[in-house]
Structure 1
Amino acid sequence: MTDLTRRTFLSLSVPFVVGACGRRSAEPASAPPLASPVSPRAYAGPPRGWGDEDPHDWPGRRPYGLPVHGVDASRYDPNPDWRGAAQSGVSFAWIKATEGGDLLDPSFSGHWNAAADAGVPRGAYHVYYHCRPAEDQARWFIRNVPRQPGSLPPVLDMEWTPFSPTCTARPPAAEVRAGMAIFLRMLTAHYGTRPVIYTVPDFYDDNDLGSFAGYEYWLRSTAAHPTDRYPGGPWTFWQYSGTGTLPGFDGSTDLNAFNGSPVAFQSWLARRSVR
């Protein structure tokens, strides 16, 4: 089980060290510019050495038609060879940093430093808990994630938490969006760039995130193109598999693609990196 949801909450059972009330007026007035999408093209196959333990038979638009691919990593990827991964085509990585207001992924600093040493652009993500104030969670993330210029923007991972032993709350949508707005504003002020929002289909639908404007999205969709699963929802990153394989990583891992060309990705990095 390698998707962000199951990784996150299975980890809680293993000991380790470690929007303004739904009103649009509390959200940013406009979204940052999106990347230029890649024109549809024939299926080109995965990056060199990449595969999938449970591949989906993609009809029409396939993720491997996109040229810029990356990974996300956590304690469930204990010793990646980041240089080998970079040589195989990993162009970016998001690394799990924190959960709620008091949990730190024990592999964060190792992944953070090793990915940078390998020349992989990397950022950090936070798994939001619906039982902690948004302010506490933002402060916890800021306490543990360095503000290093050139890093990818931070990510807010928004999902329901049914596997958590301590927090299975499902607040009303307006309350969810209000908490998101607080967390995102605090991180924007600290890191000098707006975070990216990661989410999954049921959470997106339940909380009407299509109305939550002003931020770029990283969308999970392992059996449909994002434009089919999230109609009308703009996206910058697509998590298309939780069972991927690639050089440098043991076992299966999440695979992601950027919605643009290599040139567009470099432009995006220059515009959206931590200041």
Structure 2
Amino acid sequence: MTKRKIISLGVGIGVLIIIVVIIYGITNIFNQEKGKDHLVRGVDLSAYQGNIDWKLLADQNIDFAFIKATEGNDYVDANFKTNWEESQKTKIKVGAYHFLSYDTTGKEQAKNFIDNVPASKNTLPPVVDLELYGSYEENPLTKEQVKVILDEFLNTLEKNYGVKPIIYTTQRIFKMYIGNDYKDYKIWIVDLDNYWPDTLPNGETFTFWQYSHRGMLDGYAGDETFIDMNLYKGTYAEFMKEFF
């Protein structure tokens, strides 16, 4: 073996070690044992994950979960009722989310959500999932058009549940439709490209961060192999103080 080959092999092994250390470090950070200062890890899920073993999910350092409830003015997730009831038998803090449609009014969609999601002081605030879909990917509505639907939905839910809903969205949609208009709402941001996004595009701080669409945990066996993974911005003590 030549000296050059030995050096190349040494460099290769060094790089491999660094990669392993980084992966281990990130995994270790996101899987800390629970305590008042541990990072607060959560999931969001729907019927695509199938039947959920909520106790097993909780045993994997999962602190919170957002469960899909409704979409548009008439769709209800097939597993929502079961997930909602079973999840609350564990220590996981849960909330429900609604996928916003651009094809019907915010009031009609709010009624669908309210008819299916019980009001409770021991749950996280409701969430509106603001995305582009279908033909709206290529031909999105204007900010003014979306604002009419979104405001109706948010205001109706706040009156019913007594708390401002959380807005879930991507960096792109945030820039298109949120900007500086919703600074008094908590934001759940999707950002798969940054280790820990410092701020939102408007300079404000996010509350929840979705960092992966390809998490894998035990406790579900639906059509979807992966599960979305999320973190709260602060410690567990701060999480409990903010919401409970």
Q: Distance in 1 between matches of 2:218 and 2:202?
A: 34
Contact 2:32–2:38 (CA<8 Å) still a contact in 1?
no
Q: Residue 245 of structure 1 corresponds to which residue in structure 2? A: 216
Indicate whether 1:149 and 2:124 are aligned.
Answer: no
- Distance change (3 Å), C-alpha of 1:229 and 1:193: closer
Indicate whether 1:90 and 2:90 are aligned.
no
| Structure 1 CA distance for aligned equivalents of residues 174 and 39 of structure 2 | 26
Report Cα offsets for 1:188-242 as digits up to 9, x if no partner: 1101111100001221122243432210000001111333673613210000000
Larger mean CA deviation between 177-186 and 126-135 belongs to: 177-186
Look up the match of 1:236. Answer: 207
Is 1:160 the counterpart of 2:124? The answer is no
**1:239-263 deviation line (CA, Å, top 9, x unaligned):** 0000001232343100000001111
Instruction: Name the structure 2 match of 1:254.
Output: 228
Mapped contact 1:210–1:233 kept (Cα < 8 A)? no
Q: Which structure: greater helix fraction?
A: 2
Name the CA distance, whole Å, in 2 between partners of 1:150 and 1:197.
19
TM-score, normalised by the number of residues in structure 1 = 0.71
Summarize the alignment of residues 189-204 of structure 1 with structure 2, pairs less than 5 Å apart: 189-204=159-174
Check if 1:121 corresponds to 2:93. yes
Distance 1:175 1:120 in 2: 37
Matched, 1:47 2:25: no
- Aligned residue number for residue 241 of structure 2: 267
- The structure-2 alpha-carbon separation of the partners of 1:181 and 1:209, relative to structure 1 and needing over 3 Å to count, comes to same
Q: Give runs of aligned pairs for residues 64-103 of structure 1, distance below 5 A.
A: 67-103=39-75
Larger radius of gyration: 2
1:148 and 1:121 map into 2 onto residues whose CA distance is 12
Aligned-partner Cα distance in 2 for 1:162–1:72:
22
Q: CA deviation at 1:169?
A: 6.1
Per-residue Cα deviation, 1:24-57 (whole angstroms, up to 9, x for no partner): xxxxxxxxxxxxxxxxxx85433179xxxxxxxx
Contact in 1 for aligned 2:179/2:202 (Cα 8 Å): no
Question: Percent identity of the aligned residues?
Answer: 31
In structure 1, C-alpha distance between the alignment counterparts of 2:41 and 2:133, rounded to whole Å: 27
Q: TM-score, normalised by structure 2?
A: 0.80
Which structure 1 residue ranges, 5 or more long, are not aligned? 1-41, 50-64, 271-275
Q: What are the residue-to-residue correspondences of 1:21-60 with 2, within 5 Å? A: 43=26, 44-47=28-31
Stretches of structure 2 lacking an aligned partner (at least 5 in a row)? 1-24
The CA distance in 2 between the partners of 1:185 and 1:178, in whole Å, is 11
Given that 1:204 and 1:210 are in contact with CA atoms closer than 8 Å, whether structure 2 keeps it comes out as no
Contact in 1 for aligned 2:29/2:39 (Cα 8 Å): no
